[in-house]
Chains A and B, each alone.
Chain A
Amino acid sequence: MDLVSKLIVILISTTVVNNFVFTKFLGTCPYIGVSRQVGMAFGMGCAVTFVTTLSGIMTWLINVKVLTPINMPYLKYIAFIMVIAAMVQLVEMYLRKFFRSLYDAFGIFLPLITTNCVVLGICLFVDLWQYGFLEATVASFGAGLGFTLAICIMAGIRENLEWADMPKALRGAPITLIIAGLLTLAFMGFMGIIKG
């Protein structure tokens, strides 16, 4: 398989087939928390995609080019989390300067991208899968894209649920989780697209 088709397979795999939210449960907290309106969910997804792509590239470089040669892989986690925190800070400053309204709408959820499992998750999985540089870049971007997809679908469903008459005990988080379960079953239909 040549490189380009391999990269395309990785992109499809991380976006829909092995979607991080549905199959690895990463990023469940914002998935439940910020999925009330489609607009906000999409903005959140874009911010997360940006952060995952950049931090995926940076952590790959640090892990392979710095920590492995000097034989200090045990510093991996600390290095990863520092890179992610710096990237989130960058996005925060950029949004505050150029997209003030979006910045205000996110509020506390923006700095919380630091503790979004998708971001650290993709860095760790790229390390686990032993990807090369281009593969790591594509996988990080795909993971962010998959998160955006998942959170937008969920927000669309929840906007329509506002007027539904459901039992009191199910309102809020429980119904969101049950919908997530059904969506996961639906996404299993993509399983056959690629092998392995």
Chain B
Amino acid sequence: MAEEAEKLKLQGPPESWGYFVRGLWEESPVFRQLIGMCPTLAVTAQVKPALTMGAAVIFVLVCSNVVVSLMRQVIPGYQRLMMFTLTIAAFVTIADLLLQALVPDMSEKLGPYVPLIIVNCIIIGRAEACASRTGLWTSFCDGWGQGLGYMLGLVVMATVREVLADGTWAGVTVLPRGFVPWGVMKLPAGAFLTLGILLALSNHFLKKK
């Protein structure tokens, strides 16, 4: 027993650390796995909503990972997706009510995209791929890693779009006054184009090995 515990202690931290770091870049949900794209495109017209959305996703992802990891011994295999979805829906409801209470204007701006976190593939994907197989601590770290990676992706997208569309970053003017705003970046088309070009750039410069 003592030996096993020792072994766990030795393996524990590096493994969970690995999960955490992988989420940040190597398996970044936005640029690598290409999942959860609907909010990536929809809420990134400005930086502030993107940050709020990222925070909501981190909250839901960490909580649902922890709960799923705790339940993993109890749920029979064929019922697991149903249980995952219900867990996620419960936490999304909490997150939605919290946002409505704490930042009402942001909550109004995000609108139905907060409840749409329920069907965000990242969260159910992590529940299936990580939390239902590994222990509590690892799933917790994985939730943080993937969540922060997702937030990073959202902020990068939002930065490009807001700077080009308004010349501002999170409301602060960054470009000189003579700058002509690119109106298209604010439109849905701008979101598709930005993500497509960012993906192509990351493929071109980072995938060569």
CB within 8 Å of B: which residues of A? 22-29, 32, 74-78, 81-82, 85, 111-112, 114-117, 119-121, 124-125, 128, 167-170, 173-178, 180-182, 184-185, 188
What band does the interface of chain B fall in when counting residues whose beta carbon is under 8 Å from A? Answer: 35 or more
Within 8 Å of chain A (Cβ to Cβ): is B175?
no
Known: A29-B37, A124-B116. A184 touches B188 (CB 8 A): yes
Asked if residues B89 and A78 are in contact (CB atoms below 8 Å), the reply is yes
Mask of B190-202 contacts with A, CB within 8 angstroms, 1/0: 1111011101110
Given A32-B37, A173-B34, A81-B42 contact (CB < 8 Å): no
Contact call B188/A22, Cβ cutoff below 8 A: yes
By DSSP majority rule, is chain A's interface helix, strand, loop, or mixed? helix
Task: From the candidates A77, A182, A184, name the one contacting B187 in the complex (CB within 8 A).
Answer: A184
Kindly state whether residue B58 has any CB partner on chain A within 8 Å. no
Measured between alpha carbons, how far is A169 from B196 in the docked complex, in Å? 10
**Partner-binding segment picked from B8-16, B118-126, B133-141, B144-152:** B118-126
Are B42 and A182 interface neighbours, CB within 8 A?
A: no
Task: Write the chain B residue with the least CB distance to A20.
Answer: B38
| B92, B124, B190, B191 pick with most chain A CB within 10 angstroms | B191
Which residues of A have CB within 8 Å of B35?
29
CB of B188 within 8 A of CB of A121, answer no
| Neighbouring B residues of A181 by C-beta, 8 Å | 189-193, 196
